[in-house]
Amino acid sequence: MGFKDLEGSWRVSSEERTLLRATNYEIKLSGKGEIFNAEVFYYPCIISIPFAVLVFGLSSYPRFRFEIPVYIGLAVIIAVLLGPQIVTNIRMLRNKNDRTMRGWLLGMTALSCVFGFYAGQFVNREYKHPYYEYQQLRVYKGIDTKSESGARYTDAGIVYFKGGTGIKRNRNACLKNDNAYCVAPIVQCSDTGVCPELEEGRSFDYWAVGKDCCGCPNGEFRCGEWDNPLVRGGLRLLNEEQDGLYYRLAVKQWEGMYGKTAKHPLFFDWTLRPAKEAGGLGTQGDVLAFGMTSLFLMIQLCLSMTVDYFGIV
């Protein structure tokens, strides 16, 4: 046999190549002998798409306005993006083709959806939803706590009180539940910062509030920026349905303790720059959403490189 005969003896025909692929079908992240394996970078990007869609979708303004339609829309987007891939992976698992790889992709995709959902909910609850709520409410300046009723400012989100306003910290009250819900009346004080005793015959409608920041049942109020004499403003308490109930009960307790009334109580976080803090919530939420998405992608890339290097899948 000559060298020319040996040269072609190891080659396979197109029919033989097709048969080999059909009986030995295999896809792996690892590409031995390859300088650059694109799958190591391709699959982490695909896996991270549901995470990004859910994080930004669940913390978006449309979700704030139209919650149920956005949930439905996100479900449809995830189904369109992942449906064909999931069906293909399940089919390959049933055919016992490359089970480890297919199982890895399905597992990571499921984790991407779960982590994306909870991350999006967290960003929305802690940052974006409060930001959108403050944008819907109004800003009031120069409120006189002594002469103006709280009923006039039920739509307030950010308030600045009249000069000389402060907290009557030694006339506070609290309600002990799982947390200590602390309340203290916001009153008109002197230029030296000394707040007078509680007047008779008026309603105390403006309250600084906080959790676990006062002695309960006795002790001074130390919530928010209580020790800053320049503070004249507050951010309206938003979760009235949850914490608002306990603060109202604390005010009722205060009324019994001091024999005063609070007809239209409004609750505020005592802070120096309420407008800046409210506006910053939106930026913080966007940065956190982008950071979490980038972190998830980096983790997927590291996992992909690890399993590729050790030939795990």
Summarised one tens digit per residue, pLDDT across range 250-282 is: 999 999 998 999 999 999 999 999 999 999 999
pLDDT at 58 over 90: yes
* CA distance between the termini of the chain: 43
Residue from 310, 307, 311 nearest 47 by CA? 307
pLDDT tens digits along 142-166:
999 988 999 999 999 999 999 889 9
pLDDT tens digits along 213-263:
988 877 789 999 998 989 999 999 998 888 899 999 999 999 999 899 999
- Residues contacting 136, CB < 8 A, separation 6+: 157
Neighbour tally for 94: CB within 10 Å: 10
Q: How far apart are CA 34 and CA 250, in angstroms?
A: 69
Cα dihedral 187→228→183→258 (10° resolution): -40
pLDDT at 198 over 90: no
Q: Would you list the domain boundaries of the chain?
A: 20-135+283-310, 138-272
Question: What residue spans of 95-232 are helical by DSSP H?
Answer: 99-123, 129-136
pLDDT at 298 over 60: yes
| pLDDT at residue 161, rounded to an integer | 94
pLDDT at 47 over 70: yes
10-14 mean pLDDT: 56
133-140 mean pLDDT: 96
Which run of H or of E encompasses 256? helix 245-258
3-8 mean pLDDT: 45
**Per-residue confidence band for 4, with pLDDT thresholds at 50, 70 and 90:** very low
Q: Crossing angle, helix 99-123 and helix 67-94, to 10 degrees?
A: 170
pLDDT at 27 over 50: no
pLDDT tens digits along 82-92:
888 778 777 77
Burial of residue 231, with CB atoms counted within 10 A of its CB: 0-12 exposed, 13-18 middle, 19 or more buried = buried
130-144 mean pLDDT: 95
Task: Please give the residue that has the higher pLDDT: either 177 or 122.
Answer: 122
How many residues make up the chain in this entry? 313
DSSP codes of every residue in 218-249: SS-B--SSTT-TT--EEEEP--IIIIIHHHHH
Q: How far apart are CA 268 and CA 237, in angstroms?
A: 5
* Average pLDDT of the chain, as a whole number: 85
